Amino acid sequence: MILDDFLFRAALAGLGVAIAAAPLGCFVVWRRMAYFGDATAHAAILGVALALGFSMSVFAGALVVALVMALTVSALSGRGYAMDTLLGVMAHSALAFGLVAVSFLQGVRIDLMAYLFGDILAVSKPDLLIIWGGAVLVLFLLVWRWQALLTATLGSDLAYASGIDPKREQLVLTLALALVVAVAIKVVGVLLIAAMLIIPAAAARPLSATPERMACIAVLIACLSALGGLQASFSLDTPTGPTIVCVAALIFALTNLFRVLSRKPA
Amino acid sequence: MTLIETRDVDIRHGANTVLRDVNLTIDRGEIVTIVGPNGSGKSSLLRALIGAIQPAQGTVTRAPGLRIGYVPQTLHIDPTLPMTARRFLSLPRRHATADLDKALEQAGLPDLHDRQMADLSGGQFQRVQLARALMEKPDLLILDEATQGLDQPGSAAFYRRIEEVRHDLGCAVLMVSHELHVVMSASDRVICLNGHICCEGKPEVVVSAPEYRAIFGTGTGGALALYRHRHDHDHHHDHTCDHDHEAAE
């Protein structure tokens, strides 16, 4: 069966993360939540450590801790804190605590690299099910709430006046973010999840006239990066997660170069 | 018919009471303007009416199914968010392309549907904002200093458009404005706000009210003179209103 091929499973896993992370990443970019994504992703390593310690599913552990982190950050935002400092503190201390927690566990130290940088080639069939389950759930959330999310992104007062509660929409994004983090750990690892959110969206921006178009192009770019990165890492013998991000970064450079070159002289 | 009503509303920002004892009603089809110095709680009042802030005390009652069209003072669209004028009109609900084009034409912007919002001039941007607020056929149109940054002809054209809209849709209009000469000619009712409702009524009544004069100056030279001097006069007055102006900042 074709799913027995580890490369095919890796490709499917990469595509699963791409289709969920890219459109969510658009909102992360539009709403300037990049650090927010970082904090959530970095916190997930603590979830991994806890899950391994209590012999639970790594997905569940990462999801729960990512969700707690995302909700905390979400609650703190808009209360007049210096958000970038606070997020920087939380992102990196969560990572540090996670790493320390992992070191207490016997016999998993070797696995740490797999969670920091991902281990897409080791994706199993049950992993695939979880990745695609999570991805479809995230896509469903985004499509279902799309208009409300977009209105709330433009301005919270605009949303309130239309009977939309921007806090609820923020919660939808928070939930989606935790889901993406949980499913992306295996593929790109906690250190590079934010890259899969932000880079495809940023690469799509110069080619887009509407939000929908930007989301679709971001998905295409993310898929291209996943497949291209997998291919490149196979032939160059490089770590797969970082290679995927490198391909995305190259596409970002290309599309932005294209914008600079195609800009009409003033 | 009453569209929206506040009863004994107090609004606080932290420990500061920005507004106290606000009682007001807006009825179908009337144009009501709120005037008042900076920090008098005008925007806070509008935000309480649309439900963006909860009053610390009192109640805001909206008629069941009330549709509000809202044009904020400024709308910052992040440069990473691509948004054409036509797409913008389809928020929060989608509309048929034909309706969108018709709305842009009525707004006097027939050729701009594919233009990015970021590339519009200030006047065009506000007209698109107004067009968006009108897409839902609102019962109540709320404008927060919608002509800020527009030049005289631009804001005059904007207010003419609002008058047209009121005529066509029969909606009520509630606006905050600094342009007193426009306010006085275009409003059915004026509410003078400074931490509470100082006075309200028909424009000509309000202009001669001592509370209003205390804030905007005296003289019967008319609102235009007041408007001209808006930038260099301060708000010393003889305290006919018994409230603390510091609290309103």
As averages over each run of 10 residues, the pLDDT of chain B (249 residues) reads 91 89 92 88 91 92 92 90 94 91 86 88 89 92 86 83 87 86 81 88 80 69 40 40 40
Q: Do B87 and A208 touch (CB under 8 A)?
A: no
What is the model's pLDDT at position A1? 67
Give the 3-state secondary structure of residue B212: helix
CA A212 to chain centre: 19
What is the model's pLDDT at position A105? 78
* Bridge partner list, B6: B24, B60
B130 and B207 inside one domain? no
B174 and B203 inside one domain? yes
What is the model's pLDDT at position A30? 95
A145, A156, A157: which to substitute to probe chain B, counting the most B Cβ within 10 Å?
Answer: A157
List of chain B residues whose C-beta atoms are within 8 Å of the C-beta of residue A151: 91-92
What is the model's pLDDT at position A109? 58
Closest to A73 measured CA to CA, from A163, A177, A224: A177
- Beta-carbon contacts of A148 under 8 Å, excluding residues fewer than 6 positions away, are A159, A164, A169, B92
- Give me the interface pTM, i.e. the ipTM: 0.87
**Weakest-pLDDT range from A45-59, A77-91, B17-31, B184-198:** A77-91
Cβ of A213 under 8 Å from any chain B Cβ?
yes
* Domain total of chain B: 2
Give the 3-state secondary structure of residue B59: strand
Cβ of A70 under 8 Å from any chain B Cβ?
no
Query: From its phi and psi, is residue A182 left (phi > 0), alpha (psi between -120 and 50) or beta?
Result: alpha
Domain that holds residue B116: 76-136
B49 to chain A nearest CA, in Å? Answer: 9
Q: Do B87 and A211 touch (CB under 8 A)?
A: yes
B206 and B123 inside one domain? no
And the tokens for B202? 């028909």
What does the pLDDT average to over A35-57?
86
Share of chain B above pLDDT 70, in %: 87
Q: Which of B113, B136, B159 is the last residue of a domain?
A: B136
Q: Which of B89, B104, B136 is the last residue of a domain?
A: B136
Cβ of B84 under 8 Å from any chain A Cβ?
yes
List of chain A residues whose C-beta atoms are within 8 Å of the C-beta of residue B83: 154, 210-211
B115 and B179 inside one domain? no
B124 and B17 inside one domain? no
List of chain B residues whose C-beta atoms are within 8 Å of the C-beta of residue A208: 82
Cβ of B83 under 8 Å from any chain A Cβ?
yes
What does the pLDDT average to over A168-191?
90
B77 to chain A nearest CA, in Å? Answer: 6
Count of beta carbons in the 10 Å neighbourhood of residue A22: 31
The fold of A2-258 is ABC transporter involved in vitamin B12 uptake, BtuC (1.10.3470)
B124 and B19 inside one domain? no
Per the document, the length of chain A is 266
What is the model's pLDDT at position A201? 97
Q: Which of B117, B136, B155 is the last residue of a domain?
A: B136
Residues 98-127 of B with CB under 8 A from A: 114, 116
A155 to chain B nearest CA, in Å? Answer: 7
For residue B78, give the nearest of A32, A202, A209 by CB distance. A32
A256 to chain B nearest CA, in Å? Answer: 12
What is the model's pLDDT at position A257? 93
Query: How many CB pairs (< 8 A) connect A and B?
Result: 73
* Residue B246 located in a structural domain: no
Residues 31-70 of B with CB under 8 A from A: 47, 50-52, 68-70
Cα separation, B174 vs B189, in Å, equals: 10
* Residue B245 located in a structural domain: no
Q: How confident is the model at residue A110 (pLDDT cuts 50, 70, 90)?
A: low
Q: Do A205 and B70 touch (CB under 8 A)?
A: no
B33 and B106 inside one domain? no
Highest mean pLDDT among A22-26, A118-122, A240-244, B8-12: A22-26
* Residue recorded with tokens 């992370």: A21
List of chain A residues whose C-beta atoms are within 8 Å of the C-beta of residue B76: 155
What is the model's pLDDT at position B240? 42
- Ordered DSSP codes for A88-103: HHHHHHHHHHHHHHHH
B100 and B210 inside one domain? no
End-to-end CA distance of chain A: 58
B188 and B153 inside one domain? yes
Q: Do A155 and B82 touch (CB under 8 A)?
A: no
B117 and B38 inside one domain? no
List of chain A residues whose C-beta atoms are within 8 Å of the C-beta of residue B114: 209
List of chain B residues whose C-beta atoms are within 8 Å of the C-beta of residue A155: 72, 75-76
B149 and B223 inside one domain? yes
pLDDT over 70 at A107, yes or no: no
And the tokens for B148? 């800020």
What is the model's pLDDT at position B249? 34
Q: How confident is the model at residue A173 (pLDDT cuts 50, 70, 90)?
A: very high
What is the model's pLDDT at position B236? 43
Count of beta carbons in the 10 Å neighbourhood of residue B99: 13
- Tell me the CATH number at B224: 3.40.50.300
pLDDT over 90 at A128, yes or no: yes
Q: Do A209 and B114 touch (CB under 8 A)?
A: yes
pLDDT over 90 at A256, yes or no: yes
